[in-house]
C-alpha cells in the first residue's frame, strides 16, 4: 500500500523528462506499428504496453515507488467502472447474437427493401440522437455496435464506414449533451452555466455533423456490394425481433440518467429471462462447463471473455498514464504554454494543440478537460478576456474530435471488438475506421476555421485587434 508520504511524492526518472516519456515513446511506436500493419487489436497492444512498463521500472530512480504508482493507476475508480460496464456489455451482445436479433433485423430490412448504402447515415443520425439524450459515448457504442454493424454490412454497407458512423455519433452527443461529463466539466472549469455552453457550441457541432452526414451518404455503400447469400448468418426470421426490448430498456434507462452498470445489468437480466421464456435461448447455454477439456463457456462467460482484451489493455494504459501525472509531465507541459499565448488566436491554437496531445496520451477526454481547464481559463478568459463559453467549447470540441480519431481510444476499440464478435467478417484495420470517422475530422476542421477566422469568438471586454490588448 502507498502511505500518505509516498502519495504526494513526485516520482523521478533517470534522464529527467526524457526518462519519464521514454516508456510512452516505446508504447506509441509499438501501437502505431501494429496499426500500420493492420494488426491493431487490444490483445496485441499488451506486448508494447508491458514493454513500456518494464522501461518505466528500469528508468525510475525508485522502482518500488514506480510499481506502487502503476498499480494505483490500474486500480482507479474510472477503470473499475469501465471494465465492469464492458463485461456486462459483452454479455448483452452475446445474448442478442444467440437469440437471433441480428437475423430478425436483417429479415425486416430485406422485407421492406432497405438499402445498406444508407445504413451509415441512418446509424449516424440514430446514434447522435441517442448519445445526445444519454450523454455517454461508450454507452452509445455498447448499445448500437453489436446490432447495427452486422445488419448494415449484411445489407451492403461499407464495413469500416459503419463502425466510423457509430464512433462519430457517440462523440457528437458526448460533445453537446447537457448531461455529458465532458459538457459539465468544460462548463464548470470555465465558470459558466451548462445551458449557456450547450447553446453556444451547437453551431460548431451541427456544422461538423452536416459535413459528416454528406460524407457518410457518399461513402456509405461504396465498399462491399449487398450480400446476395446471407446463409452465413443462419436462418433469417422475425422471431428474434422480440429481443429489441433489451436495447430499448438499456436506452431508456440511460436516458433517465441511471448508472450505465445498473442499466446494463437490468437490461441483460431481463433479456436472459425473455430469451429463455420465448425459447430463443437454451437455459443450458447460460453456463457450459466441460471437465474433459477444463473449459468454461456459455453466454455469460463468452460475453465477458469477448472484452477481456480491451479491459487488460485499459488497465495497463491507465497505470502508465498515472506515472506521467505523478512524474510531473502534465504540469510541466501546461506550465510551458505562456510563450505561445500572446494573442487570442495563438492562445486558442495552443490550448487546442495541448488538448489534442493530452487526449492522445490519456484517451480520457473528461480527465483532460478537468486537468487542463484551470489553465485554459487563466489564459483565455483571464489573460485575453475571451468569454468562458468559448473557452469551454474549445476544450470540449477539440477533445471530442480527437477521441473520434485515436485508433486505440476506448470507443473505437470497443466498436471494433463488437464488430469482430458479430459473426460478420472484419477485413480492415482500425486506421481504416479512423479515415472514415468523418465527424471527428469535420469537427477539427470547423474548430480550426473558427480559431483562424475568429468565428464565434466573443470577449467579455471590448477588444482591439491591432493592439491585441483588451480595453478597460
3-state helix, strand, coil in the chain (%, to 5): 75, 5, 25
Question: Is there a domain that residue 319 lies in?
Answer: no
Question: Is there a domain that residue 201 lies in?
Answer: yes
Query: For 146, phi and psi rounded to 5 degrees?
Result: -65, -20
Contact in structure between 194 and 183 (CB atoms under 8 Å): yes
Question: Is there a domain that residue 46 lies in?
Answer: no
Is the Cα torsion angle 155, 105, 255, 408 positive or negative in sign? negative
Number of domains in the chain: 1
Question: Is there a domain that residue 255 lies in?
Answer: yes
Q: What is the pLDDT of residues 167-201, one digit of tens each?
A: 999 999 999 988 788 888 899 889 998 889 999 99
In order along its 472 residues, the chain shows pLDDT tens digits of 344 444 457 899 999 989 999 998 999 899 888 877 877 778 888 999 999 999 999 999 999 999 999 999 998 887 888 889 889 988 988 898 889 888 888 888 778 877 778 889 999 999 998 888 888 888 889 888 888 898 888 888 999 999 999 999 999 999 998 878 888 889 988 999 888 999 999 999 999 999 999 999 999 886 445 454 555 556 677 888 899 898 889 888 887 878 888 988 999 999 999 999 999 999 999 999 988 888 899 999 998 998 898 889 889 988 998 898 889 887 787 777 777 888 999 999 999 999 999 899 888 888 889 888 888 998 999 989 999 999 999 999 999 999 999 988 889 999 998 888 877 878 888 889 999 999 999 999 999 999 999 999 999 865 555 434 443 3
Contact in structure between 212 and 120 (CB atoms under 8 Å): no
Stated as kind and residue range, the H or E segment containing 267 is helix 260-278
Helices (H), 113-259: 119-134, 137-154, 159-176, 181-189, 194-219, 245-255
- In which domain, by residue range, is 174 found? 79-305
261, burial (CB in 10 Å: exposed 0-12, middle 13-18, buried 19+): middle
- Distance separating alpha carbons of residues 90 and 307, to the nearest angstrom: 6
Q: What is the pLDDT of residues 210-243, one digit of tens each?
A: 999 999 999 988 644 545 455 555 667 788 889 9
Question: Is there a domain that residue 15 lies in?
Answer: no
Question: Is there a domain that residue 273 lies in?
Answer: yes
Look at the block and give the residue holding cell 463485461.
Answer: 87
Contact in structure between 165 and 370 (CB atoms under 8 Å): no
Question: Is there a domain that residue 1 lies in?
Answer: no
Question: Is there a domain that residue 266 lies in?
Answer: yes
Amino acid at each position: 500500500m502507498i502511505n500518505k508520504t509516498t502519495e504526494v511524492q513526485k516520482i523521478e526518472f533517470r534522464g529527467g523528462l526524457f526518462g519519464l516519456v521514454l516508456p510512452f515513446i516505446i508504447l506509441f511506436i509499438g501501437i502505431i506499428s501494429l496499426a500500420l500493419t493492420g494488426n491493431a487489436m487490444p490483445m496485441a497492444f499488451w506486448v508494447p504496453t508491458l514493454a513500456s512498463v518494464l522501461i518505466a521500472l528500469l528508468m525510475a530512480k525508485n522502482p518500488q515507488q514506480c510499481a506502487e504508482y502503476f498499480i494505483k493507476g490500474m486500480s482507479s475508480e474510472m477503470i473499475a467502472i469501465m471494465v465492469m460496464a464492458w463485461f456486462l456489455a459483452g454479455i448483452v451482445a452475446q445474448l442478442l447474437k444467440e437469440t437471433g436479433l441480428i437475423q430478425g433485423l436483417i429479415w425486416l430490412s430485406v422485407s421492406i427493401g432497405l438499402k445498406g448504402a444508407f445504413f451509415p447515415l441512418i446509424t449516424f443520425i440514430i446514434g447522435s440522437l441517442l448519445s445526445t439524450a444519454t450523454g455517454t459515448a461508450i454507452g452509445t457504442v455498447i448499445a448500437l455496435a453489436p446490432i447495427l454493424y452486422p445488419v448494415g454490412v449484411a445489407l451492403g454497407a461499407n464495413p469500416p464506414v459503419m463502425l466510423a458512423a457509430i464512433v462519430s455519433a457517440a462523440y457528437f452527443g458526448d460533445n453537446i449533451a447537457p448531461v455529458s461529463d465532458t459538457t459539465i466539466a468544460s462548463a464548470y472549469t470555465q465558470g459558466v452555466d451548462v445551458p449557456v455552453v450547450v447553446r453556444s457550441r451547437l453551431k460548431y457541432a451541427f456544422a461538423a455533423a452536416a459535413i459528416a452526414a454528406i460524407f457518410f451518404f457518399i461513402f456509405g455503400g461504396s465498399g462491399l456490394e449487398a450480400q446476395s447469400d446471407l446463409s452465413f448468418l443462419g436462418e433469417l426470421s422475425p422471431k428474434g425481433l422480440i429481443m429489441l426490448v433489451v436495447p430499448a430498456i438499456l436506452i431508456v434507462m440511460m436516458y433517465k440518467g441511471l448508472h450505465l452498470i445498473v442499466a446494463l445489468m437490468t437490461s441483460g437480466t431481463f433479456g436472459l429471462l425473455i430469451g429463455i421464456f420465448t425459447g430463443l435461448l437454451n437455459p443450458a447455454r447460460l453456463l457450459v462447463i466441460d471437465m474433459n477439456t477444463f473449459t468454461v463457456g456459455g453466454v455469460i462467460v463468452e460475453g465477458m471473455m469477448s472484452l477481456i482484451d480491451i479491459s487488460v489493455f485499459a488497465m495497463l494504459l491507465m497505470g502508465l498514464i498515472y506515472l506521467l501525472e505523478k512524474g510531473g509531465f502534465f504540469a510541466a507541459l501546461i506550465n510551458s504554454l505562456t510563450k505561445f499565448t500572446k494573442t487570442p488566436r495563438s492562445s486558442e491554437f495552443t490550448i487546442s494543440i495541448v488538448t489534442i496531445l493530452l487526449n492522445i496520451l490519456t484517451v480520457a477526454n473528461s480527465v483532460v478537460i478537468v486537468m487542463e481547464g484551470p489553465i485554459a481559463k487563466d489564459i483565455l478568459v483571464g489573460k485575453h478576456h475571451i468569454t468562458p463559453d468559448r473557452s469551454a467549447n474549445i476544450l470540449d470540441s477539440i477533445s471530442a474530435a480527437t477521441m473520434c480519431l485515436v485508433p486505440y481510444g476506448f470507443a473505437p476499440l470497443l466498436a471494433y471488438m463488437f464488430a469482430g464478435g458479430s459473426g460478420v467478417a472484419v477485413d480492415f484495420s482500425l486506421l481504416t475506421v479512423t479515415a472514415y470517422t468523418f465527424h471527428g475530422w469535420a469537427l477539427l476542421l470547423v474548430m480550426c476555421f473558427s480559431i483562424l477566422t475568429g468565428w464565434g469568438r466573443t470577449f467579455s471586454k471590448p477588444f482591439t485587434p491591432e493592439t491585441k490588448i483588451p480595453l478597460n
